[in-house]
């Protein structure tokens, strides 16, 4: 090969290397340039209201959605994930599409669990009334009330006597035995006293017992054991603290907490009835309703008369005393 041809080849290779080097430098310059106007700005996730939300609403998954906005348009304190807002209550009204801020959220209290027009009232209970500690929030209950009603100076018997501080017992002609309902004046009761029997009339007698369902279909908001709020899957330990209780294996005994209070959701009329039950003599019993059974039932209540007439309760007869017992 001629010397000139070899020189021409070397010159071509050198020019190719120079061109390649210039291309690398030019490409590096493009990558190193800052974003020019027109390039897409950075994005960020934010949580927004999926609908118009009134104040005091406890947020659920259906109330929110996650959307992307320009990073520069994210308000300070905006929530960025559903976990930050679900289960929290909003302190003011939100409009659809509004970013949800930490400042908009408050921890939900008992007031957020109450439906419109309802009230919360605490009912003291013992272990029997609380079904051994098995009542839980969102259960529904009825309340049965038992009391003794004293019909002052009215007894189904004759003659009438009262206690006397000197003679012990004495007949009192001023006491008038009312005739049976619907009977003519002067007609006596069907069970007059046998000669020698005493039928004492007292204004402060214990009275006749009566039992009746008085409040129905009440939702349990909270179950309180000591200073601990009991929830599903939670029981109160001996030191008053709550501990998570896993489902007990079959055949194993589950530790149940002692319940001291049931916090109930009631209407104002039911609140008055429950307050009356707590303030006056008598006893009340809580009974648990089945799940999804919200219907009201009509009961007759129970008295001794009904036990005799409808259930065949035997009635003791009066006793004839030898010698008259005068």
What CATH number is attached to the domain comprising 87? 3.90.1210.10
Q: Tens of pLDDT along 138-188?
A: 999 999 999 887 655 445 455 666 666 666 666 666 666 666 666 666 665
As a whole number, mean pLDDT of residues 14-31 equals 65
pLDDT band at 234 (very low <50, low <70, confident <90, very high): very low
126: Cβ contacts below 8 Å, ≥ 6 apart: none
Predicted pLDDT of residue 5: 64
Please indicate, yes or no, if residue 60 is contained in any of the structural domains.
yes
The yes-or-no verdict on residue 220 having pLDDT over 90 is yes
- Looking at the structure of the chain, the number of domains it has is 2
Please indicate, yes or no, if residue 261 is contained in any of the structural domains.
yes
Whole-prediction pTM: 0.55
Which range of residues forms the domain containing residue 234? 119-148+209-244+255-292+301-311
Q: Tens of pLDDT along 28-40?
A: 554 445 555 556 6
Predicted pLDDT of residue 49: 92
The answer to which of 36-45, 132-141, 217-226, 282-291 has the lowest mean pLDDT is 36-45
Check whether residue 48 and residue 93 sit in a common domain: yes
Check whether residue 92 and residue 227 sit in a common domain: no
Check whether residue 263 and residue 144 sit in a common domain: yes
Q: Which residue has the higher pLDDT, 21 or 176?
A: 21
Predicted pLDDT of residue 238: 40
As a whole-number percent, the residues of the chain with pLDDT over 70 amount to: 62
pLDDT band at 121 (very low <50, low <70, confident <90, very high): very high
Check whether residue 144 and residue 220 sit in a common domain: yes
Check whether residue 96 and residue 220 sit in a common domain: no
């Amino acid at each position: 090969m001629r010397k000139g041809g070899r020189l021409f080849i070397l010159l071509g290779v050198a020019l190719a290397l120079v061109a390649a080097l210039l291309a690398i430098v030019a490409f590096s310059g493009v990558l190193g340039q800052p974003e020019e106007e027109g390039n897409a700005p950075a994005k960020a996730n934010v949580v927004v209201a999926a609908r118009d939300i009134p104040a005091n609403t406890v947020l659920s998954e259906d109330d929110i959605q996650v959307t992307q906005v320009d990073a520069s348009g994210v308000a300070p304190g905006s929530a960025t994930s559903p976990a930050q807002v679900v289960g929290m209550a909003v302190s003011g009204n939100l409009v659809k599409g509004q970013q949800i801020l930490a400042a908009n959220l408050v921890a939900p209290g008992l007031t957020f669990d109450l439906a419109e027009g309802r009230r919360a009232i605490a009912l003291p209970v013992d272990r029997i009334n609380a079904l051994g500690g098995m009542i839980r929030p969102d259960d529904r209950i009825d309340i049965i009330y038992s009391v003794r009603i004293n019909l002052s100076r009215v007894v189904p018997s004759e003659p009438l006597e009262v206690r006397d501080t000197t003679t012990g017992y004495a007949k009192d002609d001023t006491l008038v035995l009312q005739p049976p309902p619907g009977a003519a004046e002067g007609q006596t009761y069907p069970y007059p006293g046998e000669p020698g029997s005493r039928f004492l009339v007292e204004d402060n007698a214990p009275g006749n017992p009566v039992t009746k369902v008085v409040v129905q279909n009440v939702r349990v908001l909270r179950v309180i054991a000591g200073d601990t709020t009991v929830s599903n899957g939670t029981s109160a330990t001996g030191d008053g603290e709550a501990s998570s209780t896993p489902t007990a294996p079959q055949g194993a005994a589950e530790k149940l907490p002692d319940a001291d209070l049931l916090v109930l959701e009631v209407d104002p009329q039911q609140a008055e009835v429950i307050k009356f039950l707590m303030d006056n003599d008598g006893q009340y019993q809580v009974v648990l309703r089945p799940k999804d059974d919200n219907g009201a039932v009509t009961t007759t209540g129970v008295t001794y008369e009904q036990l005799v007439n409808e259930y065949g309760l035997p009635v003791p007869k009066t006793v004839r005393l030898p010698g008259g017992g005068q």
